Amino acid sequence: MATVAASGVSIGANPLAAFPNTHAEVSASWSPPQQPCALRDLRKAVAAEDWERNYSERLTKIQMRAEWAASEERCALLQTIITSNRGRRVLEIGSFCGVAALALAEELPADGAVVSVEQDPFVVELGSRFHKKSLAGSKITTVVGQAQEVLEQLSAQARARLVQPFDFVLIDADKQGMEEYFNILWRSPGLLSDRAIVCIDLTPFKGQPPLRYVKYGFPYRWESDSGLAQIDAMRKQVRESPGFQCYEIAGLLIVQRALE
């Protein structure tokens, strides 16, 4: 896996790992050793991390939660979508520890690539340790920076034909910015391929009061914004636009260009 500054992207490729032969006969008294699975191990590491302590010690910029990592069901859905669309290039806006990025990379062809955008270096470093253990990990490039700034840079590179279009985009970042991220994607010539699918996570944010407010007895001075207003506005924009066709499944708004 490569980690780069927001000014550029480098892409690598490796063949996918072979699946074990599920038809092999084995003795009831013996079973072969379990093969390493970077994706499974990454999920376990995220679940075991003390996110409250990380925030209190200022290792992370915000208080994070293990539940932010993509579930097995979410990863399976994303893999199904990317496979059915025969996607080769993926853009992920909001990666957390890179669980979804790794799941997508494992389904891409040998020349596929995942470009992930994440603003917190701590979670990028955590995820990269496990990406490196996967044969698909070299397909992942993580750009550390603010989502809108990185998207504007990618947009400029697309106009200059310095990057190839993306076939699949996952927006799983702050709800306040998701509409702007979505609009940048579609108004930037050359950033999306003709068959591009854009998936937007619609899960309301489950916020927690920062520890400093709780410790000093002022939890009422902090307000949690679930993002529901922004989610409703996003749905309304897409559904009312004649240029898009969309549907929702398992907390994802899935958008494509409307058929002419």
pLDDT at 209: 46
Give the pairing of strands 244-249 and 252-257: antiparallel
Q: For the chain, where are the E strands, in sequence order?
A: 2-5, 89-93, 113-118, 140-144, 166-171, 192-201, 244-249, 252-257
CA dist 55 → 47, 145, 247 (Å) = 15, 19, 36
* The model's pTM: 0.81
For residues 27 and 51, what is the distance between their CA atoms, to the nearest angstrom? Answer: 43
pLDDT at 227: 84
Residues in the chain, total: 260
Domains observed in the chain = 2-16+37-202+242-257 (3.40.50.150)
By three-state DSSP, how is residue 237 classified? Answer: helix
12 Cα distance to chain centroid: 18
Q: Identify residue 177 by its one-letter amino acid code.
A: G
**Which stretches of the chain score pLDDT less than 70?**
1-36, 205-226, 260
pLDDT tens-place string over residues 130-174: 999 999 999 999 999 999 999 999 999 999 999 999 999 999 999
- Where do we find the tokens 């979804």? 100
For residues 138 and 16, what is the distance between their CA atoms, to the nearest angstrom? Answer: 11
pLDDT at 5: 55
Going by C-alpha positions, the residue among 94, 126, 89 that lies closest to residue 105 is 89
Element (H, E) at 152: helix 147-159
